Structure 1
Amino acid sequence: MSTKPSNAPAALLQDHDRTVKRISETIRDFSARGQKFRIKHGSTNSTRTAKKGSNFVDLSKLNRVLHVDTVNKTALVEPNVPMDRLVEATIPHGLVPPVVMEFPGITTGGGFAGTSGESSSFRHGFFDRTLDWVEIVLANGEVVRCSENERQDLLRGGAGAVGSLGTTTLVQLRLEEAKPYVEVTYHPVTSMQEAVDLSKTIMQDPSVNYLDGIMFSKTQGAIITGRKVDSPANGSTIRRFSARSDPWFYLHVKSCLDKAPSQPTTETVPLAEYLFRYDRGGFWVAPMAFDYFHFPFNRFTRWFVDDFLHTRMMYTALHAGGVGKDIIIQDLALPMSTAAQFTDYTHDKFGIYPLWLCPLKTQPGPSFHPHLSGSHAADSPDGIMMNIGLWGWAPAPPPGVSKKDNYLALNRDLESKLAALGGKKWLYAKTFYPEHEFWNDHVGGREWYDALREKYHATGLPDAYEKTHTDIHAEWNQRSAWKDRVLGMWPIGGVWGLWKAIRSGTYKEARASKWKSFGRDAGMQKKLD
């Protein structure tokens, strides 16, 4: 199948089609032999433990922005293009994707196959809602395109289905006008309910382009708004967050609240700096590494080990070292009406702070994305949910209870409370639902999905439950006994993870980022070298 738009470079598209043809032939061969396979991307931003397998389809070479159409405001993007390389291709043209995932290494294909909602998602919805069409290789090797006008069921069913309906090889992404800066305001709040109410009010303001928030405790937090602007207001501070000497974003917000606990603080941030403001420190996950190594956490130490504290390096170390098995990393979307109840529960049960808040425009289910169901859907016709990022160490087990049993019990209790309050999880994280709960309570039924699997020849692929369910007993015993014991000895697992991260060279991606220069002069439109 040709993917050529008339105004795109022919040589690049022909090379893309040749690569997809090879991928199609590999998949067709696995299908003919009745063998399941997994996708090799070259990177991941999932916190699930990778499952073993010997049959892989390598997509790592599909890593280019093939074309930016400045007239129609679209981009033709291969699935392994990460967010930082994507905005480096579009911002010089004065354009930016409507939804940009806040970790630079998250890929375009991952944004479609997973769930990706960010601070612009109260306007635009999840990342897949910004795509015009998606090219997919079905499990029988056939290459098809799906859009609102062609195979819409595959477009919507494949979104968030973790590749269980086919393999994404290209997307056409809509773009919108970019401006050099974002005017960012930190609005203090003193409770979760106040944060919810203020978010509802702000969403009615059409001048606001970005909206998220941080709760630092039960009684201190900030709702953060962003407006795209051409230039800083008179007297406005220009703030950056990407350099080794810059503050981490969440620590900077906390400092602003401490200095002005009852008054909003406004400053100006270059657009790309805003989009990737949480990269250093991985929101606030990186301090757990300092805890693990008993390493002082201060401005100097953060400066000293900065290369290790960007999200690409952190994910690599997490997966290699295996020391994060008892960390809670979950994103949980709640109806606006029950979000405050949920954070009361997490306060008492987990005591984890900060919490990330992000209002999301959702669509009706069934879906693998968070969505409103039952009476909550009827009560909220706009589909808005409040995402809550719960990221931190699991509470210590009570006497006589193992860490593994405690971790499982905490997660199952979390899933139960979430369902009781009408919430849904994001499937990048670990899920522990029994299968019937996964399909009925989370997805909203499986008949539609089974019909899609049959229609699009995907019954031989691992299904969404198989790909996302965490078997805790297998995970905690995945290595040989001696290796598990050795890596479980402090600090060997952590050191091994760091060594593997260094060997991966992923720190070079952050060092090489051209977007860090955007907004340092008036030449945002200037072409990159």
Structure 2
Amino acid sequence: MDNHDFAVERIRSRIVHFYNTKTAFRVYHGSTNSTRHANFDRASILDVSALNNVLSIDPATKTAVVEPNVPMDALVRETMKVGLLPPVVMEFPGITVGGGFVGTAGESSSFKYGFFDRTVLSAEVVLANGDVAHASSTDNQELFEGLRGSFGTLGVLTSVKLQLIDMKSHVEVTYHPTTSISSAMSQLRAETASATADYIDGILFSPTSGAIITGRLTSTPSPTLPTRTFSRPWDPWFYLHAWRLASSPSPTTECVPIQDYLFRYDRGAFWMGSYGFAHFRVPFTWLTRLLLDYFMHTRVMYHALHASGHTDRYIIHDIAFPAPNAAEFAEYVDKTYGIYPLWLCPVRKDGRSSMGHPRSFSGEVPGKTLGAVYEGAYINVGVWGPYPSDEAEYVRANREIEAKARSLGGLKWLYSRVFYTEDEWWSIYDKERYEVLRAKFNAESLPSVWEKVRDRGPRREFGTGWKAWVKRVLWKSEVARGLYGVWKAMGGGDYVLSKKGKTA
């Protein structure tokens, strides 16, 4: 802990400097799983990228104290050494503990445990004036609750204490075929209500084909079940495997090692990697997936996506809806955009309060009294697919999706581009309560959530010189941009932090 305390003191002293000089600053974590545009200047950032350690794990209390930049795969690796697991493990290995707590992060166990932030028991945070605060449900409760979905706008997170659960070696995974959007939603809600599974999610492959996928933790897998893995280069991508089983006449069950299950969507980033094959006109076969496996993991793909600027070529939204309204949104996406697959993930009823300080929703929901506040469960719908168009049409389409989501009580996960106007934003989020909280904890010098996520348009910064000229020429070619992104990903380095200037 001595190293941690030293790191926190360095962060605290720099925050005090920014506070006293009234210097606006941004927090740099070292990586991102966001598709929003980011280009931080080294001269005005607070670098917390070194806070990437698991500080302690207590098997007796089933808890861990963890710094915010610990990624999911590192956290799982350490907890498994003592026979424990985080209750909610985000499906991309590079998503961090801090991002899960102050952002929005859920997975197939979120119907049971809520979003990732609900597994956090306490937090250490440096406030904007340099004070170090400790918050939990019994100590600084208002700050603790406010940190959920705050995106670092109440202070700088430096560690959290997490609840853990007993580890089991395998997950018995069952694929339940569905034949319509409504039947998929009904099956999803029925599986959630039965509470016999440990994991539940779903994929819609078309209006008439889908699979609701349930998982049960076990350390004694049935010897009659086949074992399936998804992490090796020659293994199938998970969504392709589920797609094949969705055409079966009855449910199929198999046994999956726990790590393969937790990160089953890493290879191919769900199905987004398949669009890369189409982009470069490479056949999408088992052999080409094997040969290009290095590029098909999410850490590399995020790097390539940002470097190429192709975040502006895809519709990318995760939106949590009151469960009875999710089918209407999926049908709207089907009729308007025809984007498939769609990801479905049930979320506990406290999910809304984990998502960026929203207002309650009292609009229309089947089965709810008109005008009453909705207090039921949610279903997240993930819409991720190509939308080649000019910028004006791209913005129009995304604004239309946001408007539809808003009318149905949907809340966006804020890792993706936000197209709301400021007035629209504050009609969804509780500005009054949020600003009172920021004032109470001296956070007014920090950017607000709106200031952090508001859309700033496509990034087109090429600089000067012959390299900039070459880049401008190449940027006119979609294929050349893609190749540039792949090249940058292969070279590693930083795709978030501006190269100009040095941190003092």
TM-score range, shorter chain: over 0.9
Per-residue CA deviations over 1:171-215 (Å, capped at 9, x if unaligned) read: 000001111010000000111211111122111223310000000
Conserved 8 A contact 2:363-2:407: no
SS for the counterpart of 2:187 is: helix
SS for the counterpart of 1:216 is: strand
User: Aligned AA for 1:47?
Assistant: T
Aligned to 2:18: 30
Aligned to 2:380: 387
Per-residue CA deviations over 1:69-109 (Å, capped at 9, x if unaligned) read: 00000001011100000000011211101111010000001
Distance 1:390 1:302, change over 3 A: same
TM-score normalized with structure 2 length: 0.92
Aligned to 1:92: 81
Cα distance in 1, alignment partners of residues 359 and 431 from structure 2: 15
User: Aligned AA for 2:482?
Assistant: G
Find out whether 1:149 has 2:138 as its counterpart. yes
User: Aligned AA for 1:235?
Assistant: T
Deviates more, 1:79-88 or 1:188-197: 188-197
Per-residue CA deviations over 1:343-394 (Å, capped at 9, x if unaligned) read: 1110122111000000011425595177861146866866311100000011
Aligned to 2:498: none
Shift of 1:256: 1.5
Conserved 8 A contact 1:372-1:423: no
Shift of 1:323: 2.5
Shift of 1:494: 1.2
User: Aligned AA for 2:321?
Assistant: L
Deviates more, 1:425-434 or 1:487-496: 487-496
Aligned to 1:140: 129
2:191 to 196, 199, 202: 202
Find out whether 1:423 has 2:410 as its counterpart. yes
Conserved 8 A contact 1:361-1:382: no
Conserved 8 A contact 2:173-2:254: yes
Q: Which runs of 4+ in 1 moved over 6 A?
A: none
User: Aligned AA for 1:471?
Assistant: R
Cα distance in 2, alignment partners of residues 92 and 45 from structure 1: 27
User: Aligned AA for 2:442?
Assistant: H
SS for the counterpart of 2:73 is: helix
2:57 to 64, 68, 75: 68
Q: 5+ unaligned residues in a row in structure 2: which ranges? A: 495-504
Aligned to 1:272: 259
Aligned to 2:310: 323
How does 1:159-238 map onto structure 2 within 5 Å? 159-238=148-227
Aligned to 1:250: 239
Aligned to 2:8: 20
Q: CA RMSD in A?
A: 1.8
SS for the counterpart of 1:214 is: strand
1:42 to 30, 43, 58: 30
SS for the counterpart of 1:204 is: helix
Aligned to 2:277: 290
Shift of 1:478: 4.1
SS for the counterpart of 1:171 is: strand
Cα distance in 2, alignment partners of residues 267 and 372 from structure 1: 40
Distance 1:372 1:179, change over 3 A: farther
Cα distance in 2, alignment partners of residues 196 and 154 from structure 1: 36
Shift of 1:505: 7.2
Per-residue CA deviations over 1:403-432 (Å, capped at 9, x if unaligned) read: 100001001100111111121111111111
Conserved 8 A contact 2:115-2:354: no
Deviates more, 1:361-370 or 1:216-225: 361-370
Conserved 8 A contact 2:104-2:354: no
Distance 1:132 1:496, change over 3 A: same
Aligned to 1:9: none
SS for the counterpart of 1:324 is: helix
Conserved 8 A contact 1:325-1:476: no
Per-residue CA deviations over 1:216-251 (Å, capped at 9, x if unaligned) read: 001100000000011221310111100001110000
User: Aligned AA for 1:286?
Assistant: G
Cα distance in 2, alignment partners of residues 173 and 374 from structure 1: 33
Aligned length: 482
1:458 to 443, 450, 455: 443
Q: 5+ unaligned residues in a row in structure 1: which ranges? A: 1-12, 398-402, 507-529
Shift of 1:320: 1.2
1:354 to 337, 341, 346: 341
User: Aligned AA for 1:208?
Assistant: A
Aligned to 1:240: 229
Per-residue CA deviations over 1:261-299 (Å, capped at 9, x if unaligned) read: x20000000111100000000000111111211111111
Conserved 8 A contact 1:370-1:423: no
1:118 to 98, 104, 107: 107
Distance 1:276 1:372, change over 3 A: farther
* Percent identity of equivalent pairs: 46
SS for the counterpart of 1:325 is: helix
Distance 1:462 1:344, change over 3 A: same
Cα distance in 1, alignment partners of residues 473 and 315 from structure 2: 22
Conserved 8 A contact 1:209-1:227: yes
Shift of 1:324: 2.9
Conserved 8 A contact 1:333-1:370: no
Conserved 8 A contact 2:100-2:117: yes
Cα distance in 2, alignment partners of residues 205 and 344 from structure 1: 25
Conserved 8 A contact 2:122-2:134: yes
